[in-house]
Amino acid sequence: MSSRESEQSRTDGERDASGRFVAGNRTSLRGGNPSLRRLGELQTAVREAATADDVRAVLAALKERALAGCCASASVWLSRTCGAPRTFVEVDLPAIGTAADFGAAMRAILADVAAGRLDVAAAEKVATLARATADAVCYEQLAERVAAVEALR
């Protein structure tokens, strides 16, 4: 008997042949993460208790307090009625025209984070865009190479 087979026999049929848990195993019977289960129950209770009239009344009260000068109420009311303001990040990156340029772009992003000009969350988004650009450049270069090879035939 292999170690894999002995491991599966110890799970008493809770896993399939690839080692993944099957439906009805002991873990799934517990209902998953208890904290998330509780949060879900609370959110369901809020949705069931709230009516459209309740929401209108709360918004009216927020608006009244906002117009009376309460900054916190104004902030909540405006964000719920107009949407939260978008944040824009200005980053000076080198152009990504080749795969090698991606490294320079990433170094520029890291330098901005290190200098405090860019927070980590924004840097992750910028890095994702830089990576997508680098991937597009790589695909373009690959297509050019394939076309050149096919032209030789």
User: Do 76 and 118 share a domain, yes or no?
Assistant: no
Residue 94 lies in a domain: no
Residue 91 lies in a domain: no
User: Do 80 and 35 share a domain, yes or no?
Assistant: no
Please indicate whether residue 29 or residue 94 has the higher confidence score (pLDDT): 94
pLDDT tens for each residue of 114-135: 999 999 999 999 999 999 999 9
For residues 15 and 24, what is the distance between their CA atoms, to the nearest angstrom? 10
Residue 92 lies in a domain: no
Position 25, amino acid: N
Q: Structural domain tally of the chain?
A: 3
> What percent of the chain is modeled with pLDDT above 70?
86
Which residue range(s) make up the domain with 124? 99-152
Residue 126 lies in a domain: yes
Residue with the two structure tokens 């110890």: 10
User: Do 63 and 103 share a domain, yes or no?
Assistant: no
Beta carbons of 145 and 131 less than 8 angstroms apart: no
In the predicted model, what is the mean pLDDT of the chain? 86
Residue 110 lies in a domain: yes
pTM, full prediction: 0.46
Instruction: Please name the residues in contact with 127: beta carbons below 8 A apart, sequence gap of 6 or more.
Output: 106, 109
Residue 34 lies in a domain: yes
User: Do 2 and 18 share a domain, yes or no?
Assistant: yes
User: Do 146 and 120 share a domain, yes or no?
Assistant: yes
Residue 10 lies in a domain: yes
Closest to 37 in 3D by CA, of 29, 20, 25, 23 = 29
User: Do 23 and 65 share a domain, yes or no?
Assistant: no
Confidence class for position 98, pLDDT limits 50, 70, 90: confident
User: Do 37 and 56 share a domain, yes or no?
Assistant: no
User: Do 131 and 144 share a domain, yes or no?
Assistant: yes
Residue 28 lies in a domain: yes
